[in-house]
Chains A and B, each alone.
Chain A
């Protein structure tokens, strides 16, 4: 773009600084004048052009903003002596720095959390008319359902689309090179209205079974293009090996588009119909009970989600009947009846939203409390300074300054502090929100949010800062009311005793103590929750276990041979020096993969539908000892349990208690739902009982689990998890050798590796983050409150210097003086703790859903928090009290 093209746009931007009426009146003429001046400048030289732009921009801001300001009288009324305010703040650099820092932390923290909440809950997707995007409610769907809706979309809405997320391996051979993948329907880009920055999007003709005209095609994200291809302009047409299948890159999406899932940026998008290329023997396209995709639609103009749902509902019998999985009659009836509903989703779908909205809101509340404490603290400092300047202020009053004028001056100081705090706060917010988001990323999922400071975030930060300035400035400004000009006429004498009246300063200390108690209680509850979960007995020994997920999609082996391959993996891992035991399984505790089914119960059983559910895992012989799960009764799986032999299961204690009370071993159980390949469920003999373990979540109670032997199972698909127990406690050192041993068995296997401890720690990311943040801000709040108390006590000691000196001259002892000073603030702390306890009891109920194994009004936490506060408060008051006890009576008396 040449300079000449940019000029009109620059002029238009400058004109925007002016208010609308001025723009309408003089806009064209100003543009003309600028153009003339610019041409003259161009004839003079580059420097003149530069000078022109600088002068014109400065001008636009000077006069454009002046035009927007109200007329003179109001402006004069708001004029304050900023230099005076600046001088006052500079006079006490330490206090001012502290005030700015605490405000910056408060404003920064609040803004950081708001910007995260903004991006996961408020920001619309960067697509055309996001208000018209709806999603099919209720989680994930099967491909047959999507195809049934796709074929009927014309009668429902203005286009439908579907997508699924996946991790895809880009490495042509050897170790996995995972990126975030997106399976998309051919309609997704068109219906969402996402253009490509380069090339073309994936189109319906690409999403055809057996391949489109251009073969397997992929669209990559801008981030991927920059990262992998260095932004190469000739990226279109290049080959990309995805899961060992060659794809052709046909397009690059714009940087603003991260995919339909908020918080999960995609790297590579490929058509749904290419799925059989990647999983030739395991394709989910025709699976009627593999629920893996999200379905959405674009409403017709003026259509509501309810109207679209009604249209969909009319087609529901056809859709459901065409996609019926093989279910028992009960399940079938439910499948047919469950209504299909569209819900508005202008912000896209986000797993983060449901998971983090509540914790983040809680932390936002916590940081707001810290900000409040910081404001109270600054109010305190300003009041202290105002009373130190009492003489100056009374003189001003006596000389004819209005009270409003003086109050304004004090408000200006707090505004100056808040502005500095806000500026620093925005920096902290940018840095802090990025840091927070990076903490949410685990080995399994990269969290990626658009945290750009948009208008909403900046407006929020401005509003928060203005509120902080008012909160901090109003009390000192009001204190001007108590000053009389007559005071100035009196000699500035010293009072013998300081006032003990309840003042604004006292109120601010009570408030600070109360709020920090709320913070400490909250932090305590959340910390106890985290520690409780992290140290919970999960039913197995989590130390020293290495987990390797192996995917063998490219290996042509079919099911029975594939199971044998998995067993060979386990044996190869067990043979690695330093490994004491190894076994194969379908899933591991706290992994994201899970499988559940319904157990057949005798007629007349009182168990509800939900209570009949059991988790399922598939394990090879030796898995229980490898994981450290004790056998309670019966035997582990062994070589007898082959395909063709009588089908057997092992159950955990919770399963036995719920479904097989009394005689467990030798009992026969059956499941309602069929296995993955829609075969009727066999009758299974229970040969062993193991101890309870958690399954998906550390938060859940011990639930029934049923274990199938690997050799008799047909539901494992092409992926398996190998668990290897290290002989020593360190499992991570074995990663390389175990992976190499497995790769020797099948060089095409795609491996991902982590320790069981890391996997379990990752499952507690949210709890850890919330507890850490609450702890950090709790300590900060406590520190601020301590400083506030210190300030008030110091001021009281200074004011009562003469009184204390006289007392000591009359024989008061040092420890008596300390006690007296401490006593004078004890009631403030007591009042604050009482108020804080009441407030916590009320506020704690909101944290209920975040807590585990702790009551929101846990007395231990409350008492511990109160004791902490008392200890900190005593220390904060003791320092000035000790100073009081060292007052030299002789010196004091000499001054009178």
Chain B
């Protein structure tokens, strides 16, 4: 997957939520999964398999990286992850894109209907 893919295209909901979950804190994989499930109120169905596949892609594209975790933590949980500056940029851009979309939809709601383009 080329790096431009993930930057320019609309992010997949799961990817967006993973970045969102890591925006405030660095934590381990399972906690991220749980956060995604809670943030989206179950709308984004993420499984262990798909989560780690997305995580692998995000790391390959340099949006997420490994982070040092607290030493006394349960080692079985695996590594801690945090968002990179590049990841923040992508997240911010996606936020803008979604905001623009919401604005456009709102404007549509106020304007008289014209039918489909």
Give the interface of A toward B (CB within 8 A): 22, 25-26, 28-34, 36-37, 55-56, 59-60, 62-64, 66-67, 71-72
- Bound Cα distance A36, B37 (Å): 14
The reply to whether B50 and A33 contact each other, CB–CB distance below 8 Å, is: no
Contacting pair A29 B53 (CB below 8 A): no
Given contacts A28-B78, A29-B79, contact A22 B56 (CB under 8 A): yes
Known: A56-B47, A72-B1. A32 touches B52 (CB 8 A): no
Binary CB contact string for chain B from 54 to 80 against chain A (1 if under 8 A, 0 otherwise): 011000000000000000001111110
Alpha-carbon distance A71/B56, docked complex (angstroms): 13
Number of contacting residues on B, CB 8 A?
A: 20
For B77, the chain A residues whose CB sits under 8 A away are 29, 32
B78 touches A32 (CB 8 A): yes
Q: How far is the CA of A59 from the CA of B52 in the complex (A)?
A: 11
Give the distance to chain B from A25, nearest Cβ to Cβ, in Å: 7
> Chain A's nearest CB lies how many Å from the CB of B47?
5
B76 adjacent to A33 (CB under 8 Å)? no
Q: Is B28 an interface residue (CB 8 A)?
A: yes
The interface residues of chain A lying within 8 Å CB-to-CB of B74 are: 32
| B53 neighbours in A (Cβ, 8 Å) | 63, 66-67
Contact A26 B76 (CB under 8 A): no
Inter-chain contacts of A72 with B (CB < 8 A): 1
Is the contact region of chain B dominated by helix, strand, or loop, or is it mixed?
A: helix
B30 touches A33 (CB 8 A): yes
On chain A, the residues within 8 Å of B78 by CB distance are 26, 28-30, 32
A29 / chain B contacts, CB cutoff of 8 Å: 28-30, 52, 76-79
A115 to B75, CA, bound (A): 47
Asked whether B4 is an interface residue with its Cβ less than 8 Å from the other chain, the reply is no
What separation, in Å, do the CA atoms of A22 and B29 have in the docked complex?
14
Q: Are B76 and A28 in contact (CB under 8 A)?
A: yes
Instruction: List residues of chain B with CB within 8 A of the CB of A31.
Output: 76
- Is B48 at the interface (CB under 8 A from chain A)? yes
Chain B neighbourhood of A56, CB < 8 A: 47-49
CB distance from A595 to the nearest CB of B (A): 70
B52 contacts A64, C-beta separation under 8 Å: no
Given A30-B49, A67-B53, A67-B56, output 5 extra A-B contacts at Cβ < 8 Å: A37-B48, A56-B47, A56-B48, A56-B49, A59-B48
Docked Cα-Cα span, A674 to B55, in Å, equals: 85
From A29, A30, A60, name the one whose CB has the most chain B CB atoms within 10 angstroms.
Answer: A29
Closest to B74 in A: A32
Q: What CA separation (Å) do A63 and B47 show in the bound complex?
A: 10
A59 to B50, CA, bound (A): 7
- Beyond A22-B56, A25-B56, A36-B30, whether A30 also contacts B48 by CB under 8 A is yes
**SS class, residues of chain A in contact with chain B:** helix
* A63 pairs with B50, CB closer than 8 A: yes
The answer for the CA separation of A26 and B78 in the assembled complex, in Å, is 7
* Residue among B1, B28, B47 with most chain A CB within 10 A: B47
Say how far B45's CB is from chain A's closest CB, in angstroms.
Answer: 10
A32 to B51 CA separation, bound complex (whole angstroms): 13
List residues of chain B with CB under 8 Å of any chain A CB.
1, 28-30, 33, 47-53, 55-56, 74-79
Contacts of B52 in A (CB 8 A): 22, 26, 29-30, 63
Does A64 lie within 8 Å of B49, measured CB to CB?
Answer: yes
A34 adjacent to B56 (CB under 8 Å)? no
B1 near A71 (CB under 8 angstroms)? yes
Question: Which residues from B are CB-within-8-Å of A60?
Answer: 49
- Across the A-B interface, the 7 shortest Cβ-Cβ residue pairs: A29-B78, A59-B49, A63-B49, A33-B48, A29-B29, A26-B52, A33-B30
- The closest CB in chain A to the CB of B53 belongs to A63
Please report the number of residue pairs spanning A and B whose Cβ atoms sit closer than 8 angstroms: 60
Question: Cα distance A66–B79 when bound, in Å?
Answer: 23
A59, closest chain B residue (CB): B49
Pairs A–B under 8 Å by Cβ, sample size 7:
A30-B48, A30-B49, A32-B74, A36-B30, A56-B48, A62-B50, A63-B52
A680: min CB distance to chain B, Å: 83
Residues from chain A with a CB closer than 8 A to the CB of B51 are 33
Residues of B within 8 A of A66 (CB): 53
Q: Across the interface, which residues of B come within 8 angstroms of A64, CB to CB?
A: 49
Judge whether A62 and B76 touch: CB under 8 Å.
no
B33 and A33 form a contact (CB under 8 A):
yes
Beta-carbon nearest neighbor of A63 in chain B: B49
Contacts of B28 in A (CB 8 A): 29
Q: How far is the CB of B90 from chain A (nearest CB, A)?
A: 19
| Complex interface: chain A residues within 8 A of B76 (CB) | 28-29, 31-32
Collect the chain B residues with CB atoms within 8 Å of residue A30's CB.
Answer: 29, 48-49, 52, 78
Nearest residue (CB) in A for B51 is A33
Q: What's the Cα separation between A742 and B56 when bound, in Å?
A: 82
CA A25 – CA B1 in complex, angstroms?
A: 19
CA A31 – CA B75 in complex, angstroms? Answer: 12
CB distance from B109 to the nearest CB of A (A): 37
CA distance A679 to B76 in the complex (A): 80
Closest to A72 in B: B1
A28: B residues at CB distance < 8 A: 75-76, 78
A62 to B77, CA, bound (A): 23
Q: Which B residues touch A62, using CB under 8 A?
A: 49-50
From A25, A26, A30, residue with most partner B Cβ within 10 Å: A26
Which residue on chain B has the smallest CB distance to residue A37? B48
Chain B residues in 8 Å Cβ range of A22: 52, 56
A139–chain B nearest beta-carbon distance, Å: 59
Chain B, residue nearest A25 (CB):
B56
A515→B47 CA distance, assembly (Å): 55
Closest Cβ–Cβ distance, residue B78 to chain A (whole Å): 3
CB-CB under 8 A from B29, the residues of chain A are 26, 29-30, 32-33
**What is the CA–CA distance of A771 and B64 in the complex, to the nearest angstrom?**
69
Nearest A residue to B48, CB-CB: A33
Q: How far is the CB of A289 from chain B (nearest CB, A)?
A: 70
| Shortest beta-carbon distance from A21 to chain B in Å | 9
Shortest distance from the beta carbon of A27 to any chain B beta carbon, whole Å: 9
Residues of B within 8 A of A32 (CB): 29-30, 74, 76-78
For residue A73, which residue of chain B has the nearest CB? B2
Would you give the shortest CB distance from A270 to chain B, in whole angstroms?
53
Residues of B within 8 A of A63 (CB): 49-50, 52-53
B56 to chain A, nearest CB (A): 7
Please give the distance in Å from B82's CB to the nearest CB on chain A: 15
Q: Give the CA-CA distance A71 to B5 in the complex, in Å.
A: 13
Rounded to whole Å, the gap between the CB of A287 and the closest CB of chain B is 67
In Å, the complex CA distance between A66 and B78 comes to 22
- The residue in chain A whose Cβ has the minimal distance to the Cβ of B52 is A26
- How far is it, in angstroms, between the C-alpha of A25 and the C-alpha of B56 when the chains are bound? 9
Give the shortest distance, in Å, between A491 (CB) and chain B (any CB).
Answer: 39
**How far apart are the CA atoms of A22 and B57 in the complex, in Å?**
11
The smallest C-beta distance from B15 to any residue of chain A, in angstroms, reads: 14
CA distance A789 to B66 in the complex (A): 67
**Which residue of chain A is the closest to B66 with respect to CB atoms?**
A25
Q: A67–B30 Cα gap in the complex (Å)?
A: 20
Residues of A within 8 A of B49 (CB): 30, 56, 59-60, 62-64
- Rounded to whole angstroms, the CA-CA distance of A737 and B112 in the bound complex is 108
Asked if A59 and B1 sit within 8 Å, CB to CB, the answer is: no
CA A894 – CA B53 in complex, angstroms? 66
| Residues of A with C-beta under 8 A to B50 | 59, 62-63
A36 to B49 Cα, complex, angstroms = 14
Q: Closest CB-CB distance, B32 to chain A, in whole Å?
A: 10
> In the complex, what's the smallest C-beta–C-beta distance from B103 to chain A, in angstroms?
33
- Please, how many angstroms separate the alpha-carbon atoms of A71 and B57 in the complex? 11
**A705 CA to B77 CA in the complex, in Å?**
83
A55–B49 alpha-carbon span in the complex (Å):
10
CB of B107, distance to nearest CB on chain A (Å):
36
- Closest B residue by C-beta to A60: B49
**How far is the CB of A108 from the nearest CB of chain B, in Å?**
36
Min distance, Cβ A186 to any Cβ of chain B, angstroms: 50
Q: List the A side residues contacting B30 at CB < 8 Å.
A: 29, 32-33, 36
Q: Is A26 a contact of B1 with CB atoms below 8 Å? A: no
Contacts of B1 in A (CB 8 A): 71-72
Decide: B55 and A55 in contact? CB cutoff 8 A: no
Instruction: Report A-chain residues with C-beta under 8 Å of the C-beta of B33.
Output: 33
- With a CB–CB cut-off of 8 A, which chain A residues contact B75? 28
